[in-house]
Structure 1
């Protein structure tokens, strides 16, 4: 067993032995040594400053070693020569620089990665043997311009991705809309009404209406329906207090209207979306609730002979809102 382990390390050392004292292999071994010392420090003394310093030096040596090792490595694809070294080195640099900021600014490493990689790739263009500074020739300057323009485009796309994720986190109802006219966004899944927060608002409003009207007399029900606007406004406040806070909550408006005559009324609850939409005026969701009177078996002397019973239909699909109606709703 010991002999096998010895042979393994001998083969490993033969394969990765630095050809000279200053080489990329030396930097890789220095990074492993630094991380090993950092781990040993955490086990023995747990000195946070020393541990962080050694870990930082490990990342520093690793980044330099990988960049050096891949400096001349290239991949030919469709007649193009691709040098992945700067991009890998840039990824390691971003990981090293922004490790402590990843939770607070998750987009920063990704947005910075193409720009830092382009800067790393540009350094050899300005150096010659010595090393001495030089001005790139016309072809080199053209390559640098193309390189940085491509890097800026990639950074913009990464930034756009995280911007969309933030929007969807604050305004999840956007997913219920259509993206077929968007020039940048493609929704791989079919839009679902259930993605709209209006569904939750209407379902909670339904439960509150049932609690307030179920079992009431016809006179009490008609009084409630006569003041439907103020009642629905109170229900809207209750619903917003019950649901979790999101930025899009202020963009929802709950409305109600009554149609029909005694003893059968229809209460139309509408959740109106006033946020960004593929429709010019936005859209709304509707849940009609039928209010009927049911006889009471063996009612007490002072009780009404009939009481209200409520039955609500499923929520409608997204209904486009007329722009004129939308502006009046907003005002």
Structure 2
């Protein structure tokens, strides 16, 4: 029994020795690689990619302490040093993806620098991203144009193909930013059915019965009508003629639209009013018309029904007629409220 226990302990000791020996060898290999990598970064001469990399690091460190115009020059300086050093390294190692790596860095630096300028709109910085494929094509094509007799020079048909493909990619990127701008300024586009589109795909989940901007405008008009007319003296109100009501509704529509997000879209919304007079008031049938791009022929987005009636309220122990406004919730055009009157 004691002999078996001794053998087990010996095996454990042997395993620990083996593990330690391999750990030492692995650490030595890592250390050797680290030393090799460090020697690789050490400049052998002044004109080398290592010098550019270290220059970029130094100027980048100084940029944290620079202010004003010096900060601008320091930021551009470390970026330029980095691009030159990276191009030098990629050329020395012969990396195939060099044009796209450099183009991506140039576009990223340009985008960051332009976004930091407060006086410029965000759309200007987007051109730096759009230019990415064009810059990459320039890195591919220009060496062949400068030295057409070299061994690996591109033929003209290849040059045209490369330039054309990269220009097409730039157009697709620009289309992305255009669509994003439309969706930001005109959120109603999001509600459109893009199932038949050849290039636009709606990503994400959206509730089918979610209220549209048209229903929000109509409900806002109804609420404001109640605030302006409810319990107001009937005799003090202007006549409920079609002209007066249309002017009032148009003014309310402008105020309601200004309070919603993306007010630029308000110009594409029109409110159509069908007014039916009755003995003690009027019936208003409101329709929100979308005059922007739409994949269907129907322009009516939503509808709402409101009634203005004359009622009686006891004020100062006297019966005085007042206005009473009641509105149904706005509904989408596929389920409009029934007209009355």
Bin of the TM-score, shorter chain as denominator length: 0.7 to 0.9
Q: Which residue of 1 aligns with 2:136?
A: 117
Counterpart Cα distance in 2 of 1:23 and 1:284:
66
Query: Helix, strand or coil: the match of 2:306?
Result: strand
Q: Which residue of 1 aligns with 2:327?
A: 312
Query: Helix, strand or coil: the match of 2:318?
Result: coil
Query: Helix, strand or coil: the match of 1:255?
Result: strand
Q: Which residue of 2 aligns with 1:177?
A: 192
Contact 2:111 2:125 in 1 (8 A): no
Counterpart Cα distance in 2 of 1:259 and 1:28:
79
Tell me: CA distance 1:143–1:183, structure 2 relative to 1, closer, same or farther (3 Å).
same
CA offsets, 1:250-277, max 9 Å, x none?
A: 2221222234855686421222111211
2:254 paired with 1:240: yes
Aligned positions of 1:101-250 closer than 5 A = 101-102=114-115, 103-104=120-121, 105-126=124-145, 133-135=147-149, 140-188=155-203, 189-190=205-206, 196-215=212-231, 223-224=239-240, 227-242=241-256, 243-244=258-259, 246-250=263-267
Contact 2:275 2:284 in 1 (8 A): yes
Contact 2:312 2:319 in 1 (8 A): no
Aligned residue pairs, count? 292
Tell me: CA distance 1:236–1:170, structure 2 relative to 1, closer, same or farther (3 Å).
same
Counterpart Cα distance in 2 of 1:50 and 1:308:
69
Counterpart Cα distance in 2 of 1:217 and 1:266:
19
- Unpaired segments of 5 or more residues in structure 1? 1-6, 75-82, 128-132, 321-331
2:72 paired with 1:57: no
CA offsets, 1:199-257, max 9 Å, x none?
A: 33212211222123323577888942xx1343133222233135157332222212222
CA RMSD of aligned residues (A): 3.6
CA offsets, 1:84-104, max 9 Å, x none?
A: 321120122223445443353
Counterpart Cα distance in 2 of 1:50 and 1:281:
59
Contact 1:272 1:285 in 2 (8 A): yes
2:60 paired with 1:35: yes
Counterpart Cα distance in 2 of 1:214 and 1:10:
84
CA offsets, 1:177-202, max 9 Å, x none?
A: 22222222112244767564323321
Cα distance, 1:109 vs structure 2: 0.7
Cα distance, 1:116 vs structure 2: 0.5
Q: Which residue of 1 aligns with 2:89?
A: 69
Q: Which residue of 1 aligns with 2:11?
A: none
- Unpaired segments of 5 or more residues in structure 2? 1-31, 336-341
Give me the TM-score of the superposition, normalised by structure 2. 0.71
| Structure with the greater alpha carbon radius of gyration | 2
Contact 1:286 1:315 in 2 (8 A): yes
Cα distance, 1:140 vs structure 2: 3.6
Counterpart Cα distance in 1 of 2:54 and 2:211:
52
2:289 paired with 1:272: yes
Of 251-260 and 179-188, deviating more is 251-260
CA offsets, 1:118-155, max 9 Å, x none?
A: 1112234345xxxxx33577854333222211211111
CA offsets, 1:156-196, max 9 Å, x none?
A: 01111111122223222222222222222112244767564
Give me the TM-score of the superposition, normalised by structure 1. 0.73
Contact 1:214 1:308 in 2 (8 A): yes
